[in-house]
């Protein structure tokens, strides 16, 4: 079945609207799931702050390790560095 240009554009617009509705539905469900988890596990601000703190510490440790590796790279990985 062949469609003219107007029908094709309407089909594309309908597909786009379906996609937008799907995104909206996923957002709403994601928020509902998050709220359900918070209520179920009774997460409090302390646990959330502790989690954020742990993630920040892990990120800083990662950056320091990258810097340490870079220092060894500047030394061309000679035998006196910790990198084998």
DSSP code per residue over 26-66: HHHHHHHHHHHHHHHHT--HHHHHHHHHHHHHHHHHHHHHH
Domain ranges of the chain: 1-43, 44-84
Q: If pLDDT is split at 50, 70 and 90, which confidence band does 77 have?
A: confident
- What are the CA-CA distances from residue 18 to residues 11, 26, 30, 73, 82 (Å)? 11, 12, 18, 52, 57
- What are the CA-CA distances from residue 31 to residues 25, 28, 35, 52, 80 (Å)? 10, 5, 6, 20, 53
* Of the listed ranges 56-60, 66-70, 78-82, the one predicted with least confidence: 78-82
Q: If pLDDT is split at 50, 70 and 90, which confidence band does 62 have?
A: very high
In this prediction the pTM is: 0.44
């Amino acid at each position: 079945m062949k469609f003219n240009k107007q029908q094709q554009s309407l089909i594309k617009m309908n597909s786009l609207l379906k996609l937008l509705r799907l995104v909206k539905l996923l957002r709403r469900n994601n928020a509902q799931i998050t709220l359900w988890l918070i209520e179920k596990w009774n997460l409090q601000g302390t646990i959330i702050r502790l989690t954020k703190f742990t993630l920040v510490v892990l990120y800083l440790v990662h950056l320091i390790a990258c810097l340490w590796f870079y220092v060894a790279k500047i030394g061309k990985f000679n035998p006196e560095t910790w990198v084998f």
